Every structure is written in structure tokens, then in C-alpha cells.
Chain A
């Protein structure tokens, strides 16, 4: 790959702490493509955080080169470099003595922006992360919940519009429900901003959900595998990765499969299906066209089967979830308006899911 498509390139980067004979990170070669989210994951002490912190030189590498957007930044002024790279840590790391707006304005202030521009930028970013500026800009961090603080943390990292963001377990200390929502919002924001993001996590689920690529680190700072989430789950590079990914990889993979990418079975609604008693399931719909019950199913009693639905924007994992929940062996996939788009059968899961081209 050429350097123009890679935002961050690590070349033989190495960190050996003074007084330690074995490296914390061992001759690491890694390229992070522009606009992608790369998840660094591995057991504790594997060097994933060290690697992240070497990218903005919070930790100085003892060997190798770091190339950011085509420029060798191994020896440039670290403070200047870090102002151009967003940085988010656990719990946001907000300054308790700064208001929310001032927290967001830290980097723009250092870059010498004028006050009005900083204020506008803070409002704009608060809006982006889903916090009403007029309510939150003058508050102090301790007046916000953990999830809100983390949102501000992300806003602060985006303040000077850096092309690269480094995130060190940002959602690690947040309760699972809020974390899930923050992850969704994070992906939503990323769709708008399109940053190159390097993200440390210890949660495989999170890595699979957020990452375009996953870098699995082994003990001693060795990069064991660097691949798409799908590949890491389905074909681990070695025993270490397969142990780390562990059992349940096949189930986790379900959450990677978007329903919109699948070939679904056709579904008929009652009006069109009068007299049509072939192999197509027929659903009863309400006044606005949303399916409410099964009228006819080809291979079983329609009255005894609950009609469950799953949105087209969901994943196969969601579909399995609603099927198990409703004790139904098939699920109607509906679009945003609730109109039926197709059917997914339980048997499809074991028979192999047919995907179509993305975007088709």
C-alpha cells in the first residue's frame, strides 16, 4: 500500500522500557488506512496502549519510525504533534475546573483561535455529540453523567478537526447499556466526520462492532493478527488469536452481518396474495401496511406462529434474538416505515446465509 492511502504508518516501531530486557512493543509494522477505525485489542500488558501512545508520542519509541499522513513525525516536537491528533481517554479525562465549553476549547485555544470561533465550535460539537449547547456549555464536568462526560471527551478531541483520533478505552468504565448507545452514536458521528481512528479496547464485542479492522496483540507486544473483524473471527491467524477470540466466534460473527446485505425470502401481504397458496409466507397487515400476524405459512400452521419483526438496519444477531424471544422460526424483516421487506428463516442460519453485494 502506498502512503497516500495510509494515514498512520508504523515502521519497525519498538519500545523497550529502561531496565527491562524484553520489549513492551516489538518491531511493529502497521499501516492504518485513511478514514478507517482500527481497533487494538489484546490481553493486558500486550502493548496495545503503549502502541497507541507512541502514535502521538506520549510514549517515545526506542526504535523505528512513525509516519503521519506521509510525514515522518518520529522526531518533531511532541506537543505540536499532539495538538493535531485527537485524544480521548477513559471517562473523558475532562478538567473538573473548566466548564464544558472551556474543556472543548482547550486545543483551539492553544492553536490561537479567536474566542468567538472557539465558542461556535464548542456549540457545534456539543450538538454533534447530542448535547444541547445552551444547557451544557456552561456546566462543569461533575454535573454530567459518565456517558455525557464521554460524549464531551469525544467532542473535545474533535475540536480542532484533527484528521486522526486516538482513543484509549473510552467506553471502558461505562455501564453496558450506555456503552452500547455511545458506540452507536460514535459510529454515527464517524459517518459524518470520517476520521482515521485508532481505538484501544479489551472488549472483543466492541472491537467487532466498531472496527473496520482489528489488530490483535499478543503478549510481549507482538502483532498477532491485523485483519477485518470477519477474518479475525472466522480464520484466526494462530492459536493465540483463536484462544483470544475464544468460543462463540460464530455467534459474534452474526452481529457483523447486516440484514440489508442478505438475500431474504419474499413475503406477501394479504391483499396481493388472495388465492396465492404457494411457498411464499403471507402476512396480515394493519391499516398502514405493517405486518401484524401470519395468514399463511407454506410448511406449518400460520395461526400457531407468532409474527416477529426486525428492522432492516439490524444484523442477523438481532434477528436471531427476536426469533428466540418470540419462539418463532421465522422473522419478518421490515423497513423504517414498518413495511415488510422479506423473511429470514431459522434454517437459513445453518444452511448458509446468502449475501448480496454491498449497496445493492
Chain B
């Protein structure tokens, strides 16, 4: 492999080799990561059981209408959009903020800002969403509420991830003549990536779950199904919506886990 780019301010591209340096075959990759298959298998079995159960029941028109694929997938789409918007916002806000807080100049306010993040996380998301509903009903408020609730894990992991970078590596980088900026982008951030990504995964899973509540301020999502089922007292509908929400959360977490593992393997 040729030398990686080390231009000032440009993050070093992730290494092409996996940690071991030896190239594993496709089968080897599967063998080493077989534990990743557990979650999807459980989800598939759960969904099969659900479909079989629903198939054995006679559904009334209300249930049939609610369970129409177009309806369910529409809500699923809304749900995923809410999750993606809020997680991207978390990423865009918390990672740079965490980087700034980890700089020597900002160490003094680090505790205060992290405490604020903890405060935001401790607020019940349901309450926050309802309060934001007073300001505006709809997707915008929901995304803000979700973002607030999920800010802390990413913020904290960014700060911690940068702090746990071996001081001697930073010293080596500076000692060779890297500027503070080059050291940050070529050494500190790449080495903190695994921890930051772990925080993002937590935020993502939090958001998938909490997005269920967005329906109460008119932002749609799979919570709509639940609300309908409760309002109309349809047990079958409640069961199906619960199963779908659980399956989506598990799959999103699984995908995030796969992505995390790939990124960690690349960043050494």
C-alpha cells in the first residue's frame, strides 16, 4: 500500500487492510463475524410468527385498512426519516462540539457542557416532545426533541474517545513537527473513531425507539399504528405494530453494529 495522504487538515483515509493485516476470504469473514447473524435470525423468526398469527385471525375492515402495506410502509418510512434526521443532527452537533471541548483551551467548560448534555438526556423524551408540540406540531419539533435526547452519548464518547488517545502518540506527532491541527486530524480523530462510532450507535438506537412517540405531536412514524390500535382497541393491530417496531429497532441496531465493526476494523 502506498503512503496515505497527510495534507494539513484532511483526515487520513481509513486503512484498506483489516486489523490482522492478512486478507481473509469471504468464508473467513463470515466465520469471524458469525455472532452478527444472531439478531437478524431472531427478527426473521419473530416476523414469521407474527405473519402466521395474523394470517390465522380474521381481521375486520379497520384492522385490514391499518395493516395495508402502503399504510405500514408509509409509516415505516416516516419513522426511519425521523431517526435519520435526528441522528445526523446529533452527529453534526455533538462530534464537532466534543472535539472543541477536548481541546486544552476548552477543558474548563467541558464539565459544564457535559452536565448540560446529561440534563438533556435525563429529561423524559415524551415530555420534551409534548412541550415542543406547544411550539409547533410536526416533524421539525420531533426531530429537535429526538436530537436533544440523544446528544449526550455522542458528545461524551467524542470527548472520552479523544482523551483516551495515548498522550505519547500526540507527543510523538508534535515532536515530528505536526501542527496541532494536523495532529488532531491525522492522529487523534482517527484513533478516537471507534469510541465515537459506539456513541453514535447508542444515539441511533435511542432515536429509533423514541421516534415512536413522535406521533403524539403529529410527526407520524410507527407510533401512529400503536396509537390507532389503542384508540380503537384492536389487540391484533397492537400486536402487529409492537412486533414491527421491535423488528425495526433490532435491525437498525444490527446494521449499526455491522457498520461499527467495519469502521473499527479499518481504523486499526
Contacts and interface: CB of A to CB of B under 8 A. Distances in A.
Given A79-B178, A89-B172, A138 B21 contact: yes
B191 A97 contact: yes
Interface of B: 1-4, 6, 12, 15, 17, 19, 21, 168-169, 171-179, 182, 186-187, 190-191, 267-268
A89 B171 contact: yes
A94 B166 CA distance: 11
A98 B177 contact: no
Given A93-B168, A97-B15, A115 B177 contact: no
A93 B172 contact: yes
Interface of A: 56, 58, 79-85, 87, 89-91, 93-99, 101-102, 105-107, 109-110, 115, 118-119, 138-140, 143, 156-157, 166
Per CB-CB distance, the 8 closest pairs between chain A and chain B, nearest first, are A93-B172, A83-B177, A82-B177, A87-B175, A97-B268, A109-B6, A105-B3, A79-B179
Contact of B169 (A80, A93, A101): A93
Contacts of A58: 171, 174-175
Contacts of B169: 93, 95-96
8 contacts: A89-B168, A90-B168, A93-B168, A97-B12, A97-B268, A115-B2, A139-B21, A140-B19
Contacts of B15: 97-99
A138 B268 CA distance: 13
B21 A91 contact: no
B3 A119 contact: yes
Contact of B177 (A97, A101, A107, A138): A107
B4 A82 contact: no
Contact of B3 (A80, A102, A140, A166): A102
B175 A106 contact: no
Contacts, number: 87
Contacts of B176: 82-83, 87, 106-107, 110, 156-157
A106 B15 CA distance: 15
Contacts of A79: 177-179
A110 B190 CA distance: 18
B2 A143 contact: no
B13 to A, nearest CB: 11
Contacts of A98: 4, 12, 15
Contacts of A107: 176-177
A90 B80 CA distance: 49
A62 B252 CA distance: 55
B172 A110 contact: no
A115 B17 CA distance: 19
Contact of A102 (B4, B173, B174): B4
Given A110-B176, A115-B3, 4 more contacts: A95-B173, A95-B187, A118-B3, A138-B21
Contacts of B186: 95
B175 A99 contact: no
Contacts of A95: 169, 172-173, 186-187
* Most chain A CB atoms below 10 A, which of B19, B172, B173, B268: B172
